[in-house]
Amino acid sequence: MTASSSREVIVEADGGSRGNPGPAGYGAVVLDPVTGETLAEAAEYIGVATNNVAEYKGLVAGLKAARELFPDATVHVRMDSKLVVEQMSGRWKIKHPDMKPLAAEAGRVFPAGRVRYEWIPRERNKHADRLANEAMDAGKLGRAWEPSASTAALDSAAARNAATLPPSGPPGDATAGAARARAALATAGGLEPGGTRTAPGGTHPAPGGGTAPGGGTGTGAWPGAVSRPTTPDVQTGPGTGAADGLFAAEEAAPPATASGDFEAEAAAARPAALQPPPAAAPRQGWSGGPDMGAPATFVLLRHGETALTPEKRFSGSGGTDPELSPAGLRQAEAVAEALAARGTVQEIVSSPLTRCRQTAAAVAARLGLDVRVEQGLRETDFGAWEGLTFREVRERYAEDLDAWLASPKAAPTGGGESFATVARRVAATRDRLTAAYAGRTVLLVTHVTPIKTLVRLALGAPPESLFRMELSAASISAVAYYADGNASVRLLNDTSHLR
């Protein structure tokens, strides 16, 4: 299998030795970063070797499996071996003669700029660990590991479902409940023969029917955060609810007070069989965990209105790239004033599209900051639907619209982007920015789909949750990302600065 375009994949790898040195084996799994789907598995008994050699061989096997699937991929390697992660990241020297050629081999699989490494605790690497043990068990019996006999995918899924990991986010961040929801989503689609997990479909319940916590207004920091002495920009604030609604494609999202809007049209147009089910009751509970330090806080600003906004037309990255309307320019000034009053934004990053760059420029002028442009924050390419209303799309491309409403993998007519494609792009962008801005508060000026996708991924919610969020022009949302990988949604669709 080869890819028609570059994408991101996750490689988890492990190795073990029963004696160190002793009978050894490795395991590796290639995962879809958005759905958690198992794309490939590899395992092998390697005879007598050390733990570190087995771990490096697992890394090489995982990278090669990813390259076989997607030669142009960018790869996020996750391992519980601190040694391998630090050496392959270039922070530690490789001194052992047995590991130098293995590290060199791993470095040749993909260009260095397309691979990044992350250390994870052993309990988060159970799939690869199970594969390594299966390989060692098979070697003990004088047999080769066989993919058809593997239960690693099943075992790791069961472990995630049964896990009650202590949360490590701030108060109000229901990490334990989110972890259970993610585990349920990862296995809801079942398993295909050979242990390959199917991606979650478009009809699983969302892991919560309520709105995102937070919504504070006025001066001060983003709501829902823990007050920490070293980070005065994260303080507890008041909260307001965020309105629910079906997904509105970029400019098609009207103000929160509109009636008869695009979201209502989408709901009415969706066939009964494609209607999303009622949301599941949210899980409750939070207990103390380790202090992970100041998070990377993304303040998510949707750009102001363009001429297409009141007409409720699709306007993504494949259309005319409209400028802000006079109303949109006023909105940009209003949000700039509100953010200046808060005084917490330290960096500004913008989508390359004109409407976002104009909105970002208004804020930057008030805050005295520069604007960095990030291609990954651009809106979905809506293909042949660009510039059309929802009704016009229904009249011209009814079957394509039904497919798009039913599945995140369906693309708009004429070669646009599917939501699954956008989610991979946004997730990769999120990871780059959280690494670059750890401990800082960053304003991301972007569009409907990227913002909703960031919120969805932070909540561990299924793809159909995109249809259950409303996002108004010039609205503010916020998500905090902690060093342990947890996220906390602080705010959604705040438009108080426009009133």
Q: How many CB atoms lie within 10 A of CB 349?
A: 22
Active site residue 303: yes
Contact 241, 223 (CB under 8 A): no
Res 163: pLDDT: 41
Contact 48, 57 (CB under 8 A): no
DSSP 8-class letter at 384: G
Element (DSSP H or E) covering residue 394: helix 390-396
CA-closest candidate to residue 41, choices 10, 17, 73, 71? 10
Contact 298, 444 (CB under 8 A): yes
CA distance 391 to 267: 12
pTM score of the predicted model: 0.49
Element (DSSP H or E) covering residue 29: strand 22-31
- For the beta sheet containing 296-302, the strands, ordered from the edge strand earlier in sequence to the opposite edge, are 371-373, 347-350, 441-446, 296-302, 476-481, 487-494
Contact 255, 495 (CB under 8 A): yes
Res 64: pLDDT: 96
Please tell me the CATH code under which domain 250-498 is placed.
3.40.50.1240
355 is in an annotated binding site: yes
Cα dihedral 282, 283, 284, 286, rounded to 10, equals: -120
Tokens representing residue 141 in the block: 């019996």
CA distance 7 to 480: 25
Res 273: pLDDT: 39
Contact 32, 9 (CB under 8 A): yes
Give tens-digit pLDDT for 36-67: 889 999 999 999 999 999 999 999 999 999 99
CA-closest candidate to residue 314, choices 241, 399, 397? 397
CA distance 428 to 448: 17
Q: Which of 8, 379, 417, 470 is catalytic?
A: 379
pLDDT in tens, the chain (499 residues): 333 346 899 999 999 999 888 999 999 999 998 878 899 999 999 999 999 999 999 999 999 999 999 999 999 999 999 899 999 999 888 888 888 999 999 999 999 899 999 999 888 899 999 999 999 999 999 999 998 888 877 766 555 544 433 333 333 333 333 444 444 444 443 333 333 333 333 333 332 333 333 333 333 445 433 323 222 222 223 233 332 222 233 333 333 332 223 434 444 444 443 444 444 444 333 444 554 578 999 999 999 999 998 888 999 998 889 999 999 999 999 999 999 988 889 999 999 999 999 999 999 999 999 999 999 999 999 999 999 999 999 999 998 998 898 889 999 998 889 999 999 999 999 999 999 999 999 999 999 999 999 999 999 999 889 988 999 999 999 999 998 888 999 999 999 999 8
Cβ-count burial of 438 within 10 angstroms (0-12 exposed, 13-18 middle, 19+ buried)? middle
Q: How many CB atoms lie within 10 A of CB 210?
A: 12
Please tell me the CATH code under which domain 8-163 is placed.
3.30.420.10
Tokens representing residue 285 in the block: 């509970």
Res 60: pLDDT: 97
Query: Is omega for the bond preceding 21 within 30 degrees of 0, making it cis?
Result: yes
Q: Which of 303, 347, 386, 470 is catalytic?
A: 303
Domain extents in the chain: 8-163, 250-498
SS3 468: helix
How would you classify the pairing of strands 347-350 and 441-446?
A: parallel
